[in-house]
Amino acid sequence: MMTVLVLGGAGYIGSHAVDRLIQKGYDVAVVDNLVTGHRAAVNDKARFYEGDVRDQKFLNGVFDKEDIEGVMHFAAFSIVPESMEKPLKYFDNNTTGMVSLLEVMNKHNVKRIIFSSTAATYGEPKQIPIKETDPQIPTNPYGESKLMMEKIMRWADEAYGIKFIALRYFNVAGAKEDGSIGEDHHPETHLIPIILQVAAGERKELSIFGGDYPTKDGTNVRDYVQVVDLVDAHILALEYLKAGHDSDAFNLGSSTGFSNKEMLEAARKVTGKEIPAKMAPRRAGDPSTLIAASDKARKVLNWQPQFDNVEDIIRTAWNWKQKNPAGYDDQNEAK
């Protein structure tokens, strides 16, 4: 049986991908340097290799041992404000990491990669909803590093026939429904986990960044996709390449927008907690509205997301939070 190699499989999204792949009967190996990930998040049935994607000697060793049919590449840094202050950290880990990975894949004749791209590759959208063919003009180094990774894959396809699917995620949220794995970032920067920290009494209040945007209630509008639905699209994408289709890019979102105030109200309803909040200045680099056109993934990959309601998404995150108040409670480097 051939193996799916998941890079960044100890992270939030990667750990859900590993879990889902195993559930669906795939054989899975994981590479992660645990810089933001958690060893305890990785399903026991996956073989785990601790190391850095940029370390070609290490990576070649993994490819020597494993019989790999395809790669899912989640390993990256992804905090936008940090990327504004430390752009080179992002180009080094994300972009250089991709060069290293493709070199090793080419050497071992592995020809399929499913890649975590992002809405941040589009920058400030000219039209909503955002289509895959819209211009990609990132407004921060994180988005630029990911766009460069998409472009590098394109040329590696031309030269070596390494086929790729770039999946451009919008706002990923929630957790596996049984609450056994979930989101545990240090520092936490994402809206839903921060709201739930306030609900749990770990934070005094939510700061809503910006109330003067040209949206329905003045706060930013985002498109939320449940993490298990999101990883299912990766498995469909891998099967799509295995069926002989060509490289391509797909948005992954719900095609519906929710404002930050609406998200707060939804979380109040789900948790039954008051969740104190105050208005705060805009956060640098935030586009006003991001909503995906995601009919292409539905049509071409036959993606059928199960969650179509943000309250249900928040409920899965709240369940994880209540079952694991201290997250994975490990001491990873970032803690």
- Return the active site residues: 142
Q: Does 36 bind ligand NAD (CB under 6 A)?
A: yes
Contacting range for ligand UDP; rule: CB under 6 A; set: 30-38, 47-55, 177-185, 187-195:
187-195
Site for ligand UDP in 10-39 (CB under 6 A): none
Whole-angstrom Cα distance, residue 63 to residue 55?
A: 12
Whole-angstrom Cα distance, residue 239 to residue 249?
A: 15
What is the DSSP annotation of 24-93?
TT-EEEEEE--SS--GGGS-TTSEEEE--TT-HHHHHHHHHHS-EEEEEE--S---HHHHHH-HHHHIII
Tell me, residue by residue from 104 to 143, as one string, x for binding to ligand NAD by CB under 6 A and - for no binding.
------------x-x-------------------------
Residues 6+ apart with CB under 8 A from 97: 52, 53, 54, 75, 76
Q: H/E element holding 279?
A: strand 277-280
Q: Does 112 bind ligand UDP (CB under 6 A)?
A: no
169 CB-contact burial (10 Å; exposed 0-12 / middle 13-18 / buried 19+):
buried
The position carrying tokens 């539905």 is 298
Q: Does 222 bind ligand UDP (CB under 6 A)?
A: yes
Contacting range for ligand NAD; rule: CB under 6 A; set: 17-25, 26-34, 203-211, 295-303:
26-34
Counting every residue written for the chain, the total comes to 335
Whole-angstrom Cα distance, residue 9 to residue 30?
A: 5
Site for ligand UDP in 152-171 (CB under 6 A): 171
- Give the shortest CB-91-to-ligand NAD separation in angstroms: 12
Residue 171 or 271 with smaller CB distance to ligand UDP: 171
Among 64, 109, 159, 189, contact with ligand UDP (rule: CB under 6 A): 189
169: three-class secondary structure by DSSP:
strand
Q: Does 190 bind ligand UDP (CB under 6 A)?
A: yes
Among 15, 43, 117, 260, contact with ligand UDP (rule: CB under 6 A): 260
The position carrying tokens 């705060």 is 280
Q: Does 191 bind ligand UDP (CB under 6 A)?
A: yes
Q: Does 229 bind ligand UDP (CB under 6 A)?
A: no
Tell me how far CA of residue 220 lies from CA of 48, 282, 325, in angstroms: 39, 9, 28
- Give the shortest CB-64-to-ligand UDP separation in angstroms: 37
Tell me how far CA of residue 42 lies from CA of 29, 50, 100, in angstroms: 10, 12, 23
- Give the shortest CB-283-to-ligand UDP separation in angstroms: 4
**Residue 172 binds which of ligand NAD, ligand UDP, none (CB < 5-8 A, kind-dependent):** ligand NAD
Tell me, residue by residue from 52 to 91, as one string, x for binding to ligand NAD by CB under 6 A and - for no binding.
xxx-------------------xxx-x-------------
Helices (H), the chain: 12-23, 56-65, 80-85, 87-90, 97-107, 141-160, 191-199, 227-242, 260-271, 295-300, 310-323
Among 3, 8, 174, 303, contact with ligand NAD (rule: CB under 6 A): 8
**Residue 286 binds which of ligand UDP, ligand NAD, none (CB < 5-8 A, kind-dependent):** ligand UDP
Residues 6+ apart with CB under 8 A from 25: none
- Residues within the interface to ligand UDP (CB under 6 A): 80, 171, 189-191, 194, 206-209, 220, 222, 260, 283, 286
- Residues within the interface to ligand NAD (CB under 6 A): 8, 10-14, 31-37, 52-54, 74-76, 78, 93, 97, 116, 118, 169, 171-172, 185
